[in-house]
Structure 1
């Protein structure tokens, strides 16, 4: 009883205390955090409630002026929303839900959908804490989704609400991260093992794929790898684009040394079953507590191929630039319930994959048919349980999704990112595990934009080429390493009015003869989708089987309802999205009342609670 009363007392005293140096509501722990600027002036913490669809932010900035936080899009800050607030010299606070009408001007929203939970200023920082719905009914508010989100942050050096471009920052963040590393088990008997390239002289070429073959740790009994992270050599971070670890079949004959992965010696491209992968923008990743990578049994791989992709677009001189990057693995004898695997899906990386120049949007598709998985695996394949994923395109990529079909009908979207950022490629957890049964079809769709290009973009390994890949992390492990598709390029050439024989090479070359008008771009996209797909399935032992199929339609997932504002009304000229529901309480349940405007009833209630609290204490003495 005393604890309950004390909690109420603290809340009410917070509401009646001057705002400077105090918060209006209880301080719940926010699990996620990130610096938003290169100088580490702006520090963001956040957390969310998936069921209530409410997110809470706390922004701390080294300034005595105003601070602002919101969401914008890829191309411009105009139209981005920005929640702003600050503390005046007299201790009063100001707080408002606004948007950018141009690069230099803010305007207050007619609907105030952000709920203040605290504003404070001390000798060093201004800190603002507020909550907002994932999707409000105000068209000026950008949605918070499971896509990559461009977080917009700004601040002023005083309390004048004026935008200064030197104090505006945009950072891509995956806000709705499902699993926090602190929630996962860390075995006490952890062992660390590094898989790394050694003193590799980076060529001056803009793209280099360096490969070497390394043994996995030698253990006397089964262990599980439960975590991995990049190990990037100091000052070479900007040149390392991605690092992949491929498992090799134990019957493989492997070369020694370091060489071009896809060059003159085909032996350096052996081993195609991805074990773990890291790409630019990613950090460490820890598997869920019930899965791990098995090592130490006769069925487990003993060797891996380490692939490091260097992007040296500034053509830095090779002299003195040596690299020893790689992947650090954490493993333990404490076993987990399942052995995990990785299934690579998408468009087969080859010049048959083409993207026209000057297009706002062009879709590519890669089909996977699982009907041959059991035959190729050699033993029955249990249902695949997918728990995580990694998306991968190059610079022209704008969106990706993997869609699952069963018995000819669309079942679900497994994963997607409608706002993909090449600079933020990370392994992500699914909100719920997805089951894939033998016979299911899996379709990867990639969207590209090439407005800045005047020639065709082809599929290939260079960063200026393109890829369309999704890696699914699943359990229990089987021997299938990849399942990717590509369209009949001869059909596509004929649909575009180009002559081509039965040679795929002629079909690819014919694309260079096309005049890429908007009409031909749409015709090519339609032909690529309607063409028969060849599906290439590969195992860890490099066994390859082909099959064919057709691209099914994708039924878009409808948007959920918006949340009705409790802090204003939608402007008359704004269109309210169809479907809305009442706004729930904020994540922490805090009030936003201003200290100088509390009604008399609240003050009397405060006094009554204090009297009751004191009387209770006296009764316990």
Structure 2
């Protein structure tokens, strides 16, 4: 139904209420990143961002003739989610509004409108909405855009007939995405000469067990001179994709005597756990990864590994029989050498049952310490400082956040990497915005935060998906032979905090298993683990192991950046078109978006001049 002529002035009034950051509306076209938000590929999202202006631009294309919505939600609930909604009414008028969810289905407009519409068009197939917003607005209803995992919520309706928006479960989707990716693959060079080599297993019968770690020792490409591996990607058997939890490739020291065949990595034959230096890692949700243009994995020289251990973690939670798998990793290598040989340093909490998590915890912090001052002593050779350019985070199902913090001379220097919204189903290698230098003598601390509200018994560190891990892999150059540097708390000291004298770790675990896990005892255990001596275990590629002790330093709380204030102001009743939607200018796109009637153009010009004059009189510099 067309709006009455008397309503048109009300539609026009808010056309020029643009945010104060409107001069920095972010990237235009093309947008570099893209992802489907739903399994049926109905909702296609493209995005890009300006890191200096701290503005992100979204372009959402949905196969619908109705309204579309895009926003940010949380791990736990969609209630309170930030949602920008827009559409085209039957008469061609556009509506667009910065909203939030009151419950799972109902939206209402924010008091401050912080999204800037660039275009909203509709044709016979798609509704497409393109808008920009600041990383962090001053509106408490808006979720921050950070380098963490972001849970993007997309929703749509089938029509705009009523002008009302109600979310429906079958048309609402949440997808975890790294929105602020530092490097896009298209920015990286592809060598003029390159080769492909597959590292994998063939027709492996996946056991019906919940968790299986299958290992096999395989040769690296045989080359007569030095080459660099510059890219890798997973090769997953299609119907088994959900069963493959992670794939790791470990470099083997050349003196190792390696077993043959495929067997349990951590079973009765300890030989299958040989080789501990990770060089390639992929986990569920990840894709391919290409190293920066100046970095690669060296192969073909006398000091390079010639064999690797391929480790595939299967999670057959439904106990399905008769499933065969031929997964693995594909590597790309080139004779065109890069400047640096890369290495991987594994940090975190040493993975075995001494790492425990109480049940029923809203949050529980675990810590793993690394001391680099003995690296040269352990390797028996002088080493250069490490330059970190990327990282991979890893916990299992109860993990909620991870971070690696660097200390020098007892003073916190920086947070190397973090994710305060970790998602088990999205584990990818990420690049750092700025490379980090680690000097020998620095301490590195990994903190993992877990939530165990859905568990009624202790969770222990271990390989099973229902066990837990706390790992961060740092990708650095130039490489050395240190493979891991990890810590764990002295459990004997932790047991003493609960009034029990124990003589060994096993007795300590028995004490902790018998604790009544009230909130007070959860906090007591957390504090005891933090204050106890940390046992630090340093391992090399040649299976040399060194133990020492240290103490967990304090972590300074991060300071949030400044927010960007919108000049949109509060949404007033007369601006609601319809049901709280803030009117927005029509696009210059397809005619189905609608144009203003010709008799209204003089009035529009007058309002435009008034808007410009008011902005000049009331101009103030944007906050940063």
**TM class by smaller structure:** 0.7 to 0.9
Which residue of structure 2 aligns with residue 3 of structure 1?
Answer: none
Q: Which residue of 2 aligns with 1:6?
A: none
Tell me the equivalent position of 1:101: 102
Task: Find the counterpart in structure 2 of residue 322 from structure 1.
Answer: 324
Indicate yes or no: 2:309 matched with 1:308: no
Match of 1:522 in 2: 523
Change (3 A) 1:248 1:122: same
Task: Write out per-residue CA displacement over residues 323-350 of structure 1, whole angstroms, 9 at most, x where no aligned residue.
Answer: 1100000000000000000000000001
1:53-202 matched pairs, under 5 angstroms? 53-159=54-160, 160=163, 161-202=165-206
**Consecutive unaligned residues in structure 1, runs of 5 or more:** 1-14, 17-23, 572-593, 605-621
Q: What is the aligned length?
A: 559
Cα distance change, pair 403–243 in 1 and its aligned pair in 2 (3 A): same
- Aligned pair 1:568/2:569, yes or no? yes
**Length-normalised TM-score, structure 2:** 0.88
Counterpart contact for 2:486–2:537, Cα < 8 Å: yes
1:269 and 2:273 correspond? yes
Task: Measure, in 2, the Cα distance between the counterparts of 1:598 and 1:299.
Answer: 74
Shift of 1:497: 2.1
Once the two structures are TM-superposed, the CA of residue 498 in structure 1 deviates from its matched residue by 2.7
SS at match of 1:505: helix
Which stretches of structure 1, 4 residues or longer, exceed 2 Å deviation after superposition? Answer: 24-27, 594-604
SS at match of 1:170: strand
Q: Give the conservation status (yes or no) of the 8 Å contact 1:226–1:293.
A: yes
Normalised to the residue count of structure 1, the TM-score between the two structures is 0.88
Distance 2:362 2:175 in 1: 23
**1:392 matched to which residue of 2?**
394
Superposed displacement of residue 27, structure 1: 4.6
1:225 touches 1:294 (CA, 8 Å); kept in 2?
Answer: yes
Indicate conservation of the 8 Å contact 2:27/2:48, yes or no.
no
Kindly indicate whether the alpha-carbon contact (under 8 Å) linking 1:484 and 1:536 is maintained by their aligned counterparts in 2.
yes
Deviation at 1:603, TM superposition (A): 9.2
**Structure 2 unaligned blocks of 5 or more:** 1-14, 17-24, 573-594, 611-624
The residue aligned with 1:579 is none
Native 8 Å contact 1:399 1:446 kept in 2: yes
Answer yes or no: is the 8 Å Cα contact 2:26–2:56 preserved in 1.
no
Closer, same or farther: CA 123–528 of 1 in aligned 2, 3 Å: same
> Could you say which residue in structure 2 is the equivalent of 1:352?
354
Q: CA deviation at 1:89?
A: 2.2
CA pair 387-124 structure 1, distance change in 2 beyond 3 A: same
In the other structure, the counterpart of 1:247 is 251
Give the structure 2 partner of residue 417 of structure 1.
Answer: 419
Check if 1:256 corresponds to 2:260.
Answer: yes
Structure 2 vs 1, CA of residues 570 and 468 (structure 1 numbering), >3 Å: closer, same or farther?
farther
The CA deviation at 1:90 is 2.3
State the partner residue of 1:582: none
The DSSP-based 3-state class of the residue aligned with 1:429 is: strand
Aligned counterpart, 1:223 = 227
3-state DSSP of counterpart to 1:182: helix
Residue 472 of structure 1 corresponds to 474
Aligned to 2:345: 343
| Alpha-carbon offset, residue 513 of structure 1 | 1.2
Task: Tell me how far 1:377 sits from its aligned partner.
Answer: 2.3
User: Per-residue CA shift, 1:538-561, capped at 9, x if unaligned?
Assistant: 000011111110000000110000
**1:599 is matched with which residue?**
605
Residue 373 of structure 2 aligns to a residue in which SS?
helix
| Paired position in structure 2 for 1:292 | 296
Matched, 1:445 2:451: no
SS of residue matched to 1:371 = coil
Q: Is the 8 A contact 2:349 2:486 kept in 1?
A: yes
2:26–2:50 Cα contact (<8 Å) kept? no
Q: Secondary structure at the match of 1:452?
A: coil
